[in-house]
Homo-oligomer: A and B are copies of this chain.
Amino acid sequence: MLELNIVTHKKYEGINITSEVVKFIAESNVKNGICYLLVPHTTAGITINEGADPKVLEDIVGAVDSIIPTRYEFKHWGGNSPSHLKSSLFGTTLTILVRDRKPVLGEWQAIIFLEFDGPRKRKAIIELLPVILKH
């Protein structure tokens, strides 16, 4: 199990962590199976989206923020309920197939850590689960 340290620099930010995941899988003994990712936070998330143009990630975290109502009367004392909501809308877990020591993703897909309450020191937990194939 890898605990990946992630330092975020903005309040809202999408950070491409694909290369770290690819490296972790390549250096493991797991040829085929599942790569499981957990963001152990309640105001951050994880998703798959385009990694080529970083502006896509800026658009995603920016546009979703423009949707979340600021006039809604949030009850949670922390003042960060919109960040909690975003975390649950995008999700904090990801399951990715591993074939021949590589993650199975589309040509344009990348694994993105989503910060909704930064800047902060964050973590992503990455685990590889070998699965016996008998097709």
Contacts and interface: CB of A to CB of B under 8 A. Distances in A.
A131 interface: yes
Most B CB atoms within 10 A — which of A30, A39, A55, A112? A55
Contact of A97 (B63, B85, B127): B127
Contacts of A104: 38, 125, 127
Interface residues of A, number: 68
A50 B42 contact: yes
Most B CB atoms within 10 A — which of A55, A58, A63? A63
Interface string A105-135: 1111100100000000000010111111111
Contacts of A127: 97, 104
Interface of A: 1, 28-30, 33-34, 36, 38-42, 47-50, 53, 55-56, 58-60, 62-64, 66-69, 72, 74-78, 81-82, 84-85, 87-97, 99, 104-109, 112, 125, 127-135
